[in-house]
Amino acid sequence: MKRTIFRNQLLPWLLLAPQLAITFIFFLWPAAQAVWQSFLREDAFGINSTFVWFENYRRLWGSAEYLNSMKVTLIFAVSVTVLSMGVALLMAVAVDRMLRSTRIYTTLLVWPYAVAPAVAGILWWFIFNPTVGIMPYVLGQMGIRWNHISNPDQAMTLVVIASAWKQISYNFLFFVAGLQAIPASLREAAAIDGAGPIKRFFTITFPLLSPTTFFLLVVNIVYSMFETFAVIDSTTEGGPAQATNIMVYKVYFDGFIGQNMGSSGAQSVILMLIVIALTVIQFRYVEKKVEY
């Protein structure tokens, strides 16, 4: 670490100020507001608010809707993570086996990451649109009736696909880099040691990829829990019948549509705690535990 000694006491603070200001105004202040809000209860007209301690939290635990949202979030996050990481790994392994035009293929595969979440949502919404979409038509030919507007499982499938699709590029890049960091001689040694391609993958390649995989696991959970808001908002808006109402969307919906600031605040504090927990896990283990 390089150390600089400042003669002027004011200068270091001045240099730090912009960063500190941004952190305070855009992160710490809103977070504190949320915490404060979560202890308040507003009346029906939003004129008076009373301090109610943990009443908002207590109500959440008793709310079937909130518990359902947690369950939906869990299913959604696991599905998106598994789907996007699985597909990305498959593609990365395929690219790793390619000898030529790897670069072009890699570049093409990165494009979806540049698409804004809302646009991605709309894109998939059109593809799966029960009236004009191509997928319902194709599925209809195969005897499957697609209507995510009324079918909760299909709605969930749609938002999972749309969210996972966007994240595949990101995972793919990391997996390709991870695979290329594994010396070819290890796989050759395993081939001579009598391991077939599939056995080789599961006993050599995959264990050696574990640092990458673990890193992506945390990143993908965070992504699917927090950054998929736009996808949900542009496709299902949490419906039908709460089927895709993930926690982040519910914070927005209860707060800005339902105008229940207290509950919304409590929910966002819970989300904040989840993020903190994930970040701790990330920093604790990603660089130490998984190392071989």
Nearer to other proteins, 193 or 287 (CB): 193
Length of the chain, in residues: 292
Nearer to other proteins, 89 or 162 (CB): 89
Q: How far is the CB of 16 from other proteins (least distance, A)?
A: 40
Nearer to other proteins, 103 or 199 (CB): 199
- Residues within the interface to other proteins (CB under 8 A): 183, 185-186, 188-196, 199, 203-204, 207-208, 210, 292
Read off the tokens for 143.
């005897």
Phi and psi at 202, nearest 5°, equal: -80, -25
* Dist CA 120 CA 112 (whole Å): 8
* Dist CA 219 CA 176 (whole Å): 16
Q: How far is the CB of 283 from other proteins (least distance, A)?
A: 22
Q: How far is the CB of 84 from other proteins (least distance, A)?
A: 25
Q: How far is the CB of 41 from other proteins (least distance, A)?
A: 54
What are the strands, taking DSSP E only, across the chain?
40-42, 49-51
Q: How far is the CB of 221 from other proteins (least distance, A)?
A: 24
Nearer to other proteins, 75 or 191 (CB): 191
Q: How far is the CB of 183 from other proteins (least distance, A)?
A: 6
Cα 214 to chain centroid, rounded: 14
Name the residue among 130, 122, 97, 117 with its Cα closest to residue 227. Answer: 117
Nearer to other proteins, 18 or 196 (CB): 196
Q: With b meaning 16 or more CB within 10 Å and e meaning fewer, what string describes 155-191?
A: bbbbbbbbbbbbbbbbbbbbbbebbeeeeeeebeebe
Nearer to other proteins, 186 or 276 (CB): 186
Cα 178 to chain centroid, rounded: 21
Read off the tokens for 134.
């191509």
Nearer to other proteins, 274 or 290 (CB): 290
Whether cis (ω within 30° of 0) applies to the bond prior to 240 is yes
Nearer to other proteins, 72 or 179 (CB): 179
Q: How far is the CB of 26 from other proteins (least distance, A)?
A: 42
Name the residue among 96, 98, 225 with its Cα closest to residue 173. Answer: 96
Q: How far is the CB of 52 from other proteins (least distance, A)?
A: 53
Cβ atoms of residues 161 and 236 within 8 Å: no
Cα 106 to chain centroid, rounded: 22
- Between the alpha carbon of residue 262 and those of residues 204, 229, 268, the distances in Å are 51, 20, 10
